[in-house]
Amino acid sequence: MTAMKLQKLVYYSQAWALVLLGRPLFSEEFRAWREGPVCGPLYHGHRGQFLVSSWPGNPDALRQDEADAVRRVLCAYGDKNASWLSDLTHREQPWIDARKGLGPGENGTIVITKESMRTYYSGADSSEARAVNGKFNPLIATLDNLSDDEAELLGELAARDLAEAE
């Protein structure tokens, strides 16, 4: 998967864990870069790579509810390409708020707070909430839209970050 798609799927996994579980999957922050939300440690781990094919981690370290939250995100967003996901984040309030005062092409490093993510994505009227909460998307479905490698990679990333946070 592309590095940008990975960033966005990890962002949405974090956001939806905050909503569905009431806690983050990992402690690292996302920053409002011009291309959308970026997790610095993840970025530095794949810097210079267009495609990311492996990452150290153990998906088995995720609790069942955490793995289910990641699966829900993958079912809702996994079939989207990186540009689509980036464009979506650019229309959402957490990224917009963190970019206040910056022009479209300007670099930004302001943190997108976990609280702003939780508040925004828990909004019952948002299309994202309907997608992830299953009003038009089966949540605990199989990961038909992602390759096994992509699903495993996302699980490994979440597990590694969770293990480092503990």
Give the closest residue to 8 by CA, choosing from 52, 58, 66, 48. 52
Is pTM beyond 0.85? Reply is: no
Amino acid 57: pLDDT: 73
Instruction: Tell the residue number behind the tokens 């997790």, with chain if given.
Output: 39
Amino acid 131: pLDDT: 55
Amino acid 145: pLDDT: 47
Instruction: Identify the segments of the chain with pLDDT beneath 50.
Output: 124-125, 134-146, 165-166
**Digit-coded pLDDT (tens) for 4-49:** 999 999 999 999 999 999 999 999 999 999 999 999 999 988 888 8
Amino acid 28: pLDDT: 95
Amino acid 58: pLDDT: 79
Calculate the alpha carbon distances from 25 to 105, 114, 145, 154 in Å. Answer: 30, 11, 22, 12
> Which helix (H) or strand (E) segment is 36 a member of?
strand 36-39
